[in-house]
Amino acid sequence: MTLPTEPIGSIPRPDYLIAGLGDLAAGRIDAAALGELESRALADTISRFEETGSPVLTDGEQGKPSFATYPLAGLTDLAPDGVVIPFADGHTRQLPRLTAGPFRYATHADEYLTRAKALTDKPVKQAVIAASAVSLVYPGDGIEGYSQEQFIADLVNEAEADIRRSLDAGADSVQIDFTEGRLSLKLDPSGGLLRQFIDLNNAVLDRFTAEERAKIGVHTCPGGDQDSVHSLDVDYAGLLPALFDLKAGRFFVQLASEAEPERALEVIKANLKGDQRVFVGVIDPIDPRVETPEEVRDRVLAAAKYIPADRLGTCDDCGFSPFADDTSTSRDIAFAKITARVEGTKLAAEKLG
């Protein structure tokens, strides 16, 4: 037996790339010079990913400003005073606010995918941001001459294109990042906002065939930035039943950092649909300690008590640096943790086999 194992997305950027981002912002270098640094970082990331033995790679999001805002990079109809996301340690991240329509993505994720695929023969998955996350850029008081209904119609078109372009470019799979799912229950404990998010994302997924949706996954976690989270205190049982209403074939579920993983696994078992596979988080990117392969093995075997082995896989809980300036985890630790995941998953597969 073999068990699939995949990364989530981001890898901490090397120091020279982080410095380059600062230099670009200060006007000391131009976009072409930054692009050279991004290419250098991407090549190193792919090489080090291959050394881990990971059967599936990502580009490490070396060229993204963040996992959430890459479609907006370069747009002019934005103001900086959008939705604020508070983290448990007190720091915040702020989304931009849309000021005019029509809404279009400035960057599509297949641009990152194409660069990565040129550097490896291994399968490459591509992470994209959920339409529900991007929907937060529309202001609560509306935009004159551009209704929320018009915005949502444009957003669904753009989110579909983001996924479809990556599939057409040869992505092994496309992962939709849905970290705002758990957060929505903090913003609206009634679950109404979560249901709106599910319906919006399903409006995108409905545009794909069953065969295409088998290659589309959804990632959920309580956030991960600067060694902190935004919604780990929200009861997972409130999210998970709705999560599996999403019309995707794969689900990447944070579990390693969960206080009661077996309770979450019980909810997964009760709500998992027949055509869905679950990749359980067995690595905690926020914990600076590198897990042993044996710890990973035991986490997989615990999950296998609830999820049939032929519908089980493993992943990291979250990306290691979803925002480009996050230096809380080193590249060395990130790749050591990925190696442990790969080796521990093999040990679990041998035990299950």
pLDDT in tens, 71-94: 999 999 999 999 999 999 999 999
By three-state DSSP, how is residue 59 classified? coil
Q: What is the pLDDT of residue 35?
A: 95
Listed in sequence order, the DSSP H helices in 52-130 are: 110-117
What 8-state DSSP symbol labels residue 253?
E
Instruction: Return d(Cα 133, Cα 180) in angstroms, integer.
Output: 6
pLDDT-derived band at 1 (thresholds 50, 70, 90) equals low
Q: What is the pLDDT of residue 48?
A: 98
Q: Using CB atoms within 10 A of its CB, is residue 99 exposed (0-12), middle (13-18) or buried (19+)?
A: middle
Q: State yes or no: cis peptide before 102, omega within 30 of 0.
A: yes
Q: What is the pLDDT of residue 160?
A: 98
Q: pLDDT tens across 172-217, in order?
A: 999 999 999 999 999 999 999 999 999 999 999 999 999 999 999 9
pLDDT-derived band at 54 (thresholds 50, 70, 90) equals very high
Listed in sequence order, the DSSP H helices in 118-235 are: 131-134, 148-168, 180-187, 192-205, 210-213
Q: What is the pLDDT of residue 315?
A: 98
pLDDT-derived band at 32 (thresholds 50, 70, 90) equals very high
Residues in the chain: 353
By three-state DSSP, how is residue 137 classified? helix
Q: What is the pLDDT of residue 240?
A: 97
Q: What is the pLDDT of residue 265?
A: 98
Q: pLDDT tens across 92-122, in order?
A: 999 999 999 999 999 999 999 999 999 999 9
Average pLDDT value for residue range 318-347: 96
pLDDT-derived band at 58 (thresholds 50, 70, 90) equals very high
Average pLDDT value for residue range 327-350: 97
Closest CA to 330 of 260, 247, 217, 227: 227
Rg value, the chain, Cα: 19
**Whole-number mean pLDDT of the chain?**
97
Q: pLDDT tens across 126-183, in order?
A: 999 999 999 999 999 999 999 999 999 999 999 999 999 999 999 999 999 999 999 9
Q: pLDDT tens across 239-294, in order?
A: 999 999 999 999 999 999 999 999 999 999 999 998 999 999 999 999 999 999 99
